[in-house]
Amino acid sequence: MRFFNTTGPVVAADHYQVAPLERWDLAEVRRLIGEKRYFVLHAPRQTGKTSALLALRDLLNAEGGHHCVYVNVEGAQAAREDVGRAVRTVLAETASRAGDAWGDEHLEEIWPDVLARRGPDSALREGLTRWARAVAKPLVLLIDEIDALVGDSLLSVLRQLRAGYDMRPAGFPQSVVLCGVRDVRDYRIHSGSANTMVAGGSAFNVKAASLRLGDFSEEDVRALLGQHTAETGQAFADEALEMVWNRTRGQPWLVNALAYETCFRGEGAADRSRVVGEDDVLAAQEALILRRETHLDQLADKLREERVRRVVEPLLAGADDAEFSERDVEYARDLGLVAWNRPVRIANPIYAEVVPRELTWLAQEHMADDPAWYVDVAGGLDLPKLLAGFQEFFRAHSEHWVERFQYKEAGPQLLLQAFLQRIVNSGGRIEREYGLGRGRTDLLVAWPQDGSGGRQRRRPGGRAQNGGGELPGGRPGGSAQGHGGSQKFVVECKVLHKGLERTVAEGVEQTAAYMDRCGAEAGHLVVFDRREGRSWDEKVFRFGRTAESGAEIEVWGM
């Protein structure tokens, strides 16, 4: 039985797949190779770059017009700035791959001698020259994980590839494809020997184009999941198919991981007569987040980088506007964390859920409130009591906690989410909408009315609960409605910028509109006053306000 792949390149015999060569512009790739160009393929991790390169290698070699070799140079990362060790690793790996693909021993026989005679700063160029002259067909070299190389090692490899460019195709590879997470122009290479920063674009200025491998389309997602249905008979409900697409926005690893979790690992997965539903997808998402799968953990780790913080923080704060550095946004986009479709937004709702939970998990662990305090005798969530508890907590502890956050501008919103997350971990879930230009952060708290709320075992790490994020069209990232007859509460957060009355008036109408969209039974507007010189007695308040629609909104000042 084939399965959904989440590790390594796809293998058609083993995995359901979207054909790798259909995921990029093959005509453009052929044109670049025909014109003897050097170019870049880049995309976030675990999106299918290696599968695409291997498929291209097999295609070119099957057609017979080229001598194409794929090589992965990630092993040279351990050499760091030891150029000799790094170049030795690159040459050895390239020779090994040439032997595997073609039985080609030319490079295997010459590279140790070339390295000894020429030294590491020209051995790669000389080795590739001799190899290209020895084979009968034009040489095409596909170099994967190029940006795993570090400092002077990366600088040396790029410059040696550039140095032989004028000798192609008879005396050097006709085409070289560099593949990695980032575009070569965004390589910031710290040269230890020169104690300076070197731009990758200047070190490899023979690059003709940068191609980006995109995410799956909605049609791709449905076709991929349809392969499982065709081979096993197990169907996905239409709502589940839509949810997989909406939650992942086609990010390949997320699509495969959700599908694998629901069909091969989750509760009842072996029962092929069971139709996969929305709740299965939500449970799969939660399992991935709780296990801190490597893909999500690597993403969370990037949040610590200052370049990423400068992009993500205004999104979390719901800033009306922000002045982004184009390079910072490009970097965050290359990592796959954001989509730049004006305005900038988090790339998909699962990432939008992971980001605030990762940034607040320590705060969650240090909050002493027992979730049972906020559950009534019927098992329902008493959200006004919960917000009153947070108001007291915020007055007493906000200065301490906001200063501890790396994302200080979004600190109040993050602290509220941490407080809510810890409480609803015992049975409910939070869905979140935030992003640039919103002027607010919208939270939808859903709590089961079947009596289970507040009595489930608390999950480890304070990271439980299914979350959402904003989807195109402005609706919540998932079906809050209809899951077990949940109570639904809207909590909207705004920072006071335009005067209290104007902020409240605007926020009340926004809260009422969100309530109507979600079918929520109650709405709460939280106004954070971060102006200097204001006493807590002035900032802390609670009153009711009626929206134009007639919805009753409770307003909380902090």
Kindly report the backbone phi and psi dihedral angles of residue 383, in degrees, each rounded to the nearest multiple of 5, phi listed first: -70, -40
Exposed/middle/buried for 260, CB within 10 Å: 0-12, 13-18, 19+?
Answer: buried
| DSSP assigned state of 262 | I
402-405: long-range contacts at Cβ-Cβ below 8 A with a sequence spacing of 24 or more?
A: 404/362, 404/363, 405/359, 405/363
- Residues 324 and 22: their CA atoms lie apart, in Å, by 33
Q: How many alpha carbons fall within 13 Å on the CB side of residue 181?
A: 18
Which pLDDT score is estimated for 180? 93
Which pLDDT score is estimated for 466? 37
Would the CATH topology of 19-212 be identical to that of 218-291? no
Task: Return the percent helix, strand and coil in the chain, to nearest 5.
Answer: 50, 15, 35
H or E stretch at 395: helix 383-404
Q: Which amino acid belongs to residue 405? A: F
Residue 433 and residue 445 in contact, taking contact as beta carbons nearer than 8 Å: no
| DSSP assigned state of 17 | -
| DSSP assigned state of 145 | S
Residue 176 and residue 141 in contact, taking contact as beta carbons nearer than 8 Å: yes
As given in the structure block, the two tokens for residue 337 are 């964390």
- Residues 45 and 334: their CA atoms lie apart, in Å, by 9
- Residues 105 and 11: their CA atoms lie apart, in Å, by 27
- For every residue of 356-384, DSSP letters joined together read HHHHHHHHHHT----GGGGB-TTS-B-HH
- Residues 267 and 279: their CA atoms lie apart, in Å, by 11
CA distances from 290 to 198, 358, 390, 460, 500 (A): 40, 11, 25, 8, 39
Which pLDDT score is estimated for 105? 87
Q: Strand 188-191 to strand 196-199: parallel, antiparallel, or no bridges (unpaired)?
A: antiparallel
Q: pTM score, two decimals?
A: 0.86
Q: Strand 487-495 to strand 522-528: parallel, antiparallel, or no bridges (unpaired)?
A: parallel
The CATH topology of domain 218-291 is Helicase, Ruva Protein; domain 3 (1.10.8)
Which pLDDT score is estimated for 465? 37
- Residues 374 and 248: their CA atoms lie apart, in Å, by 33
Which pLDDT score is estimated for 403? 82
- Residues 527 and 493: their CA atoms lie apart, in Å, by 6
- For every residue of 169-234, DSSP letters joined together read TTSS-SEEEEEESS-GGG-EEEETTTTEEEEHHHHTTTEEEEEE--PPPHHHHHHHHHHHHHHH--
Residue 514 and residue 462 in contact, taking contact as beta carbons nearer than 8 Å: no
Spell out the per-residue pLDDT of the chain, length 558, in tens.
899 999 999 999 999 999 999 999 999 999 999 999 999 999 999 999 999 999 999 999 999 999 999 999 999 999 999 999 999 999 999 999 999 999 988 888 899 999 999 999 999 999 999 999 999 999 999 999 998 998 889 999 999 999 999 999 999 999 999 999 988 876 766 656 656 666 666 678 888 899 999 999 999 999 999 999 999 999 999 999 999 999 999 999 999 999 999 999 977 778 899 999 998 999 999 899 888 888 998 888 899 999 999 999 999 988 777 778 888 998 899 999 998 766 889 999 999 999 998 898 877 777 777 778 888 888 889 999 999 999 999 999 888 888 888 898 899 999 999 899 887 776 788 889 888 778 888 999 999 876 554 443 333 333 333 333 333 333 343 333 334 468 999 999 999 988 999 999 999 999 999 999 999 999 999 999 988 888 999 999 999 999 999 999 999 999
The domain spans of the chain are 19-212, 218-291, 348-557
Angle at which helices 106-118 and 120-134 cross, to 10° = 150
Paired residues of 271 in beta bridges: none
Report, in angstroms and rounded to the nearest whole number, the Rg of the chain calculated over CA atoms: 27
Domain 19-212, second-level architecture:
3-Layer(aba) Sandwich (3.40)
